[in-house]
Amino acid sequence: MHLKETEPSPGSITAPEDLQSNLNITLTHKPTTTVSSSTPNEQQQQQPPNKSRRPLYFAYGSNLSPTQMRHRCTQNPTRSSHPVAIATLPHWRWLICESGYANVVPPPSLRIGKQLSGGDKVPVSGEEDAVFGVLYDMDVGDERLLDGFEGVDRCAPVSREGGRVPLRVRPREQGSGDYNKWVVGARVVRWLDGGYQRGLIGDGDGEGEDGEGEGGEVMTLVYVDEERVKCGPPYKEYIARMNRAISEAETLGFPAKWAEEVMRPYIPRE
């Protein structure tokens, strides 16, 4: 996404098995095998189970660049660096925070800790009052690699903010990490891969049961720095990567006007 070029650490911050079950979310692929003792007629009468889907990855910083994603996601780069949609996080706010890298602040109803006092000081993200990003269908192995680049604390405890922010949204504390992992709904602005969209929705008509057509909502993984929510200048090496990210994203259909209004006050052209 947007952090300094450090070597990724092995492992993942995925929730423990019992937590995943309680949250009804899947942060890692877990192949399952169903064994049925029912007769063929009974099987025909049974409804097929709902397809379990991992959240798509919502990139909003330097990982807007598919080129950077290919360099970082070495487990399955063909899949993980392939953009599938342009989407927004409604009522979120985008900034370069005091660490020098991109960050996002959630809407007031989901804010915790320093977000409560600092969130309103971050400018509203353009006329749309939303953060735009690029969605990737990231491989679980590459998610672990990206956790390392984003500085996720794999030993952080289970969230203590479950009363304000549901555990399904924020499974863990940020701990000593640079970013935390949230799972939130994003609004699809434009699908970039019609084949992927048809596979996700099932019938290809753009109006799936889960609202996954354009204008509908999909669940996404978002890296959020809960601790650094003040606006600041960009880290020097980050400027070049953000310029590449903006350029590549705009070729995909990322809104140039939004980038100009929201990103360019922080990111000078080179």
Query: Which parts are annotated binding residues for substrate?
Result: 57-62
Cα distance between residue 122 and residue 97, in whole Å: 9
Region label for 125, one of left (φ > 0), alpha (ψ between -120 and 50) or beta (otherwise): beta
Chain Cα centroid distance, residue 104 = 11
- Distance, CA of 30 to CA of 215 (rounded, Å): 29
Structure-block tokens of residue 60: 């909003």
Q: E strands along 43-101, which residues?
A: 56-59, 83-90, 93-96
Whole-angstrom Cα Rg for the chain: 19
Which residues contribute to the annotated binding site?
Answer: 57-62
Distance CA 161, CA 53 (A): 25
